[in-house]
Amino acid sequence: PDRGRRFAERKRCADLECSMLMCRGKAMRDFKGPDCRFVNFKKGEAVYVYYKLIGESTELWAGSVGSDFGYFPKDLLEINHNYSNEELELPTDETDFVCF
């Protein structure tokens, strides 16, 4: 696989489709991603986490802010609610790393 497009080979999700929320947090500072695969947010905004990349790129999580979805550095999030304690380890897919 093209390592430039794919950030990691594996991810942790709350369900097999990675459609259930894992947790919610508050952005600790503004973030503007380098490309359309990232979600931008402002300090204090609620960020909803759907999956966490594991392996090479453990610092990136995937989530949403409003209707926008994308990756962001996990260190910018202060978790304030867990929706699930279940974590399934699954392979990533090419479609996890495309812009919609």
Domains of the chain: which residue ranges? Answer: 10-85
- pLDDT at position 1 is 36
pLDDT in tens, 34-48: 999 999 999 999 999
Does the predicted model carry a pTM greater than 0.85? yes
- The DSSP bridge partners found for residue 60 are 73
pLDDT in tens, 59-100: 899 999 999 999 999 999 999 999 998 899 999 988 888 886
Q: Would the pLDDT of 3 be above 50?
A: no
- pLDDT at position 97 is 87
Q: What is the DSSP letter of 89?
A: E
How far is residue 84's CA from residue 81's CA, in Å, rounded to a whole number? Answer: 9
Query: Mean pLDDT over residues 12-20, rounded?
Result: 96
- pLDDT at position 83 is 96
- pLDDT at position 94 is 86
- Locate 39 and state its tokens: 């979600």
Q: Would the pLDDT of 2 be above 50?
A: no
Tracing tokens 């960020």 back to the chain, one arrives at: 47
Q: What is the DSSP letter of 97?
A: G
Looking at the domain that runs over 10-85, which CATH code has it been given? Answer: 2.30.30.40
